[in-house]
Amino acid sequence: GENVEQHPSTLSVQEGDSAVIKCTYSDSASNYFPWYKQELGKRPQLIIDIRSNVGEKKDQRIAVTLNKTAKHFSLHITETQPEDSAVYFCAASIMGGYNKLIFGAGTRLAVHP
Amino acid sequence: NAGVTQTPKFQVLKTGQSMTLQCAQDMNHEYMSWYRQDPGMGLRLIHYSVGAGITDQGEVPNGYNVSRSTTEDFPLRLLSAAPSQTSVYFCASSLGQANTEAFFGQGTRLTVV
Query: Three-state DSSP class for B99?
Result: coil
| pLDDT in the model for residue A26 | 94
Determine the Cα–Cα distance for residues A102 and A92; give it in Å rounded to an integer. 5
The pLDDT tens digits of the residues spanning A74-83 come to 999 999 999 9
Residue A1 has pLDDT above 80, yes or no: no
Tally C-beta pairs within 8 A across A and B.
65
| pLDDT in the model for residue B109 | 97
Query: Three-state DSSP class for A100?
Result: coil
The secondary structure of A16-81, three-state, reads CCCEEEEEEECCCCCCEEEEEEECCCCCCEEEEEEECCCCEEEECCEEEEEECCCCEEEEEECCCC
Of B91, B87, B107, B113, nearest in space to B27 by CA: B91
**Hey, is the C-beta of A104 within 8 angstroms of any chain B C-beta?**
yes
Which candidate from A96, A101, A105 shows the least CB-CB separation from B102? A101
Residue A95 has pLDDT above 60, yes or no: no
Residue A87 has pLDDT above 70, yes or no: yes
To probe the interface with B, which of A43, A51, A87, A94 has the most B CB atoms within 10 Å? A43
What band does A33 get if pLDDT is binned at 50, 70 and 90? very high
Of B40, B43, B36, B11, nearest in space to B113 by CA: B11
Would you list which residues of chain B are within 8 Å, Cβ to Cβ, of chain A?
31, 33, 35, 40-45, 48, 50, 56, 58-59, 90, 92, 94, 97-102, 104-107
Determine the Cα–Cα distance for residues A79 and A62; give it in Å rounded to an integer. 9
| pLDDT in the model for residue A98 | 66
> Which residues of chain A make contact with B56, given a CB cutoff of 8 A?
98
Q: Which residue of B has its CA nearest to A90?
A: B42
Where chain B has pLDDT below 70, the residues are: 1, 97-99
The pLDDT tens digits of the residues spanning B77-107 come to 999 999 999 999 999 999 876 668 899 999 9
> Which residues of chain A make contact with B48, given a CB cutoff of 8 A?
98, 100
Query: How long is chain B?
Result: 113
Residue A61 has pLDDT above 90, yes or no: yes
**Hey, is the C-beta of A113 within 8 angstroms of any chain B C-beta?**
no
**Hey, is the C-beta of A59 within 8 angstroms of any chain B C-beta?**
no
